[in-house]
Chains A and B, each alone.
Chain A
Amino acid sequence: MPVYKLCIKIFKKNISTLLIYFFIFLLFSAIMATSASNTQKELEDFSYIKTDIAFINEEESVLVEGLKAELSKVANFIELPDETEALQDALFFGRVKYILRVPEGFTGSFMDRQNVNLEKTIVPASASSAYIDLLVNKYLNTAKIYVQNMEGISQGELVRYLERDLSEEGHVDILAGPENSASSYSSIYFNYMVYPLLSILIYGMSALLISFNNTDIKKRVNCSPLSNTAINIQFSLANLTYAFVVWGLMVAFCLLVDSNNINSSTFYYVLNSFIFTICGTGLAFLIGSLAKGTQAVTALTNVVVLGSCFISGVFVPTELLGSVTLRIGSFTPSYWYVNANNQIARLTQFNFDTLKPVFSDMAVVMLFAAAFFSLAMVIRKERRYS
């Protein structure tokens, strides 16, 4: 297999340039990995925190004590003087997020089934005050049901019932939930992989194609007893070896770094990237057939790869891109590859129906691959006869 061995040798000779791309990408992905794992950690470390509130009680009653005890589960009570200015300052400077005032005669009126209100002062648009609101409403609405339906119920009995009812917690079983999210490391990695994968494929294969396209070398090889078929088979085999080694290394790195999160999605990310690698090989073959020198390859790679990465959602999420940009981006295979990745990231169940759109995107990428290979063949044939 002299041609195969030669191709591998030429790949090895160009390895320094290719390694630069590879390591820059690894560094970049390591940064992304750190960022993604920090987000994940923040989600896992979630814990309740108590809101600081001021509870001003103008009367003493069992019902109000019960409310206060319930609130104490989610709130810290801050002692403040009952003065308007002091209370406003406390809210303004963030010492408390919520001031709840129980007016005098509240309990009596409540037990007599009259409409009564508690007074509250809050920091506007505060999530914690909305949560306190919910708790107060839940307590009093439940109490109201007992008062309206159990005539003559005592405050002690009412508070006992409320304690029992409110301590009940609903149990939720998540039968199907997302195994990962669009912001997981794998999802980001496989999207960003477009750039280094295409760059490394194009640079490596173009260098080889340029050498092979040299008319004088071609003549010399054609004078040898090696048949054209044997030459083409060995040449294609070498290119495929190169493409799959590059792909394999990139995928292996991701699986290594994100080994804790390997799940069903990972398989489809890998499959999607495999199909994209075939398409990238076609693109590299086309560029290598078109370009007549390494400088032309660099120029074409920058325009084609960088350009498509910017408009197809590789560098900038598709959500942030305009509709016109996305429409233009849809003429590039990377758009469909990223689209498939994003869909995989959103999937909670993996069956043929849910995967149908993913497979459709993969089919489009395969069509691009076929187009690239066909075009490259036509160009090579034209050149051969000219």
Chain B
Amino acid sequence: MVVNVKKLVKRYDDLIALDHLSFSVKEGEVFGLLGPNGSGKTTAINCILSLLKYDKGEIEIFNKPMSPTAYDIKRDIGIVMQNVAVYEELTVYENIDYFCGLYINDKILRKDYVEDAIKFVGLEDYKKFTPKKLSGGLLRRLNIACGIAHKPKLIILDEPTVAVDPQSRNKILEGIEEMNRQGATVIYTSHYMEEVEQICSRILIIDKGKAVATGTKEELKEMITLGEKITIEAYGVPEKSINSLRDLPNISSVEYKESILKIKALKGKNNLESVLEFIKNENIQFANIYSELPTLNDVFLEITGKELRD
């Protein structure tokens, strides 16, 4: 195991930020920590990195207990925090060189590493720029380069795409996948389920400091009863037809509002087909129709009773 967290408890007076949180991260994984704002993701990361004292629990990294003085463990960890942490006075190159220098003493090797990091995040044209002259997206890329320049075995990224434009966001996500392909184990925290779904091989859903569910995205989706969401743009659907629709096999809920018919179906075969047949038999006029598989938001909604972005 690269990271092993056992029954972690962190309290802030009466508030329990982490409530017996346990999880483990295997080598080569992109492990996603998904949860709404305030769910305890950053607190968990801070505890893992020994930046925060915790009340109970055990944390092991690379099979060794983690502590503030575990410098041999820290040497192999790269950290990209939620907020950009760079020196305003230094240029892009100097910033990366400094943070890389905290890990790598060899000047020649460090120079290569810094150049690699700059290339990796696509900041070749901005080497001599100070952070003030960079856009939000470029700043985030610099933030990432500072965290990964020393080529760590474990990379922890705490919501690195907050307030980032789509172009930079894609670049960042592609970068994380590339780092993983190169052998790094990644822990990625986010409240954006699409990102987690896109890049994470295993996901832990966390809410109020508790682990709600864990597994691959497919496994998580298997945990819930929702099988399919069917949305139909339909006109003048009578109440009687809506009630009849609810009585169809596998249909769990039907909502009709402003000419949009939203149908949730349980796991099963031919759900869309039976709905379409029903609409045809009832002579309901419709324009668009589409079907979606459940998302992580649906998983979260079914388990906790609230949306991820609440």
Contacts and interface: CB of A to CB of B under 8 A. Distances in A.
B87 interface: yes
Interface stretch (B22-30, B67-75, B207-215, B239-247): B67-75
Contacts, number: 63
Nearest to A2: B101
B71 A225 contact: yes
Given A220-B147, A225-B72, A6 B98 contact: yes
B77 A223 contact: yes
A252 interface: no
Interface centre among A5, A207, A225 (most CB of B within 10 A): A225
B205 interface: no
Contacts of B84: 216
A360 B83 CA distance: 50
Most buried by B among A5, A6, A10, A216: A6
Contact of A211 (B49, B72, B81, B88): B88
Contacts of A6: 87, 90, 98
A93 B231 CA distance: 117
Interface string A197-241: 000000000010001001011011111111110000000000000
A264 B105 CA distance: 48
A9 interface: yes
A224 B46 CA distance: 14
A225 B49 CA distance: 12
B192 interface: no
Contacts of B278: none
A13 interface: yes
B79 A220 contact: yes
B90 A9 contact: yes
A219 B85 contact: yes
Overall SS of chain A's interface: helix
A205 B210 CA distance: 44
Given A225-B74, A225-B103, A220 B146 contact: yes
Contacts of B46: 219
Contacts of A221: 102
Given A224-B74, A225-B74, A211 B101 contact: no
Interface residues of A, number: 22
A223 B83 contact: no
Contact of A2 (B72, B81, B98): B98
B74 A223 contact: yes
Contacts of A302: none
B103 A224 contact: yes
Interface in B37-84: 46, 49, 51, 68-69, 71-72, 74-75, 77, 79, 81, 83-84
Contacts of B177: none
Interface string A249-269: 000000000000000000000
Interface in B135-174: 146-147
A217 B74 contact: no
B307 interface: no
B94 interface: yes
Nearest to B49: A223
Nearest to B104: A2
B122 to A, nearest CB: 21
A224 B87 contact: no
B85 A220 contact: yes
A220 B75 contact: no
A288 B146 CA distance: 26
A223 B88 contact: no
A214 B85 contact: yes
Nearest to B76: A225
B149 to A, nearest CB: 12
B94 A9 contact: yes
Contacts of B99: 220, 224
B113 to A, nearest CB: 14
Contact of A216 (B75, B81, B94): B81
A219 B81 contact: yes
Contacts of A13: 89-90
B83 A10 contact: no
A220 B77 CA distance: 11
B185 to A, nearest CB: 16
Contacts of A227: 69, 71
A141 interface: no
B102 A225 contact: yes
A221 B51 CA distance: 11
Contacts of A2: 98, 101-102
B9 interface: no
Given A216-B84, A223-B74, A227-B71, A9 B79 contact: no
Interface of A: 2, 5-6, 9-10, 13-14, 207, 211, 214, 216-217, 219-228
5 contacts: A211-B87, A216-B84, A220-B85, A223-B49, A228-B68
Interface of B: 46, 49, 51, 68-69, 71-72, 74-75, 77, 79, 81, 83-90, 94, 98-99, 101-103, 146-147
